[in-house]
Structures are given as structure tokens and as C-alpha cells.
Amino acid sequence: MTSLEIRSLYAGYGASMVLRGLDLTIGEGESVALVGRNGAGKSTLLMSLFGETRIFSGEIRVGETRIDDRPGYAAAKLGIAISPQGRRILPNLTVKENLLLGRATGRSGAWSLRAVYDLFPVLNERANSAGTMLSGGQQQMLAIGRALMANPDLLLLDEPSEGLSPVLIDDLARGLNEIRRAGAGVLIVEQHLSLVKRAADRFVILSKGRIVGAGPISEMDSRENHALMAL
């Protein structure tokens, strides 16, 4: 079954076109890495799923439901959750309260406070601390945990390794693989290729709003693909 299908998507901001005829399909439970240099349109693609961009033409479907002409919350209701770039932890809420925000979609499933605490034990230890008092790595865990509380079929991650040490990136890779084993699909926007290789089944290379390369993760290290990624 298809979790997400994007067809001939042209999207951007105001009069500026960023995505140009993009096609992408993600199957149920699949993990896909979206890679490319800064400004390629990766984050714009994620934001297009939540009504944060201007869609000039094309279609976005979650399962059988078209959402490009629906309000931004439609994707969340249909099982897509995002851990955004910059984490966006609410400063006036505790760790636990930030996590509970993820339940706003009303979706049921295996992800509960206990399940998130089992995945990221430090969040349990700091449950009553202000979310913004955590370290950068802990805040990243909090952002992912909050998204998981929505019990998504597809989890979107925008630059999850940003600002993290190599040790924390290893912890993040282990956490993402636990999420995959639990059955959720993953679309990860990431420039840290070591993380990508441990957390994705296949890769898609974006350049100037177009897909210019794709393949199984085992082929990502070819000279041609590195040239296309321009990393």
C-alpha cells in the first residue's frame, strides 16, 4: 500500500517556484532519504504536505486521499507527522507537555508516553523539565517523540542530525531503526550521509526542485551520485 504519492508537483512561496514537476512515491513502512545541497527544495517538499507552501499544480495523496487542496492539518489526520528543522520545542511547556501535544490528531496506536520513554529514556528522566532546558540532542529526541505520539504511518524528519555530536547521531540512528521496526515509514531530509545509510532503504536526490537521481541505499556512494548531491 502507498503511504504517500506526489505527482507532478509544482510548489513554492508567493510567485517563486521551488519544486518543479516532482514525482515521489513512498510505500507503507518504507524508509526514504531525501538528499541534496541546501536550497534544493527538500524542506519545501515537506512543508507542501502541510499546506505551508503555494501549490501551483500537481497532486499529493496520502493513501487514497488527495490533500493538496485541503487544509494543512489533513496530512496529520491521515497519519503523517513531522519532526521539523529547528525542533520547535515550546518553551513554556515541560517535556511531558510537549510530548502530549502530539496526541492532538486523535489517532490511536502503539505510541504512548511509555513507548516514547522506552525509546528515549532521558525524556522520562526529564519529563517535568522545561523542554527548552534540554540539550540539543535531547531536544531532537523530544521533537521526534512528539511526532511519534501522533501514531503516524509516515514520519517526516527534517535535518534531525543538525547540531548533534557523532555519539548522539549514533543514538539517533538506533532510535530511527526502532521506529522502523515498529512499522512506521520514514522520510528523512538529511545531509549527514552516515546517518542516511543506517536509517533508509533508498535515497532520492533533489537539485533545483527536481529529482535528479534515486536508487537503493547501497548505491548512494557512487561517484555519479556524490556529484549529483553536490555535498
Contact 206, 35 (CB under 8 A): yes
pTM of the model: 0.90
C-alpha neighbours within 13 Å on the C-beta side of residue 36: 21
Element (H, E) at 188: strand 185-189
Walk along the chain (231 residues) and give the pLDDT tens digit of each residue: 558 999 999 999 999 999 999 999 999 889 999 999 888 999 999 999 999 999 999 999 999 999 999 998 999 999 999 998 878 899 889 999 999 999 998 898 889 999 999 989 999 999 999 999 999 889 998 999 999 999 999 999 999 888 788 888 888 888 888 888 888 899 999 888 889 999 999 999 999 999 999 999 999 989 888 888 875
The closest of 105, 101, 104, 127 to 114, measured between CA atoms, is: 127
Domains of the chain plus CATH, in order, are: 2-229 (3.40.50.300)
Q: 184 φ, ψ to 5°?
A: -80, 140
What does the alpha-carbon distance between residue 10 and residue 108 come to, in Å, rounded to a whole number?
33
CB within 8 A of 7, min separation 6: which ones?
23, 58, 59, 60, 61
Phi-psi region of 36 (alpha: psi -120 to 50; beta: other; left: phi over 0): left
Read out DSSP for 38-83? TTSSHHHHHHHTTT-SEEEEEEEEETTEE-TTS-TTHHHHTTEEEE
- Cα angle vertex 215, ends 210, 219, to 5°? 125
The closest of 192, 150, 221, 202 to 29, measured between CA atoms, is: 202
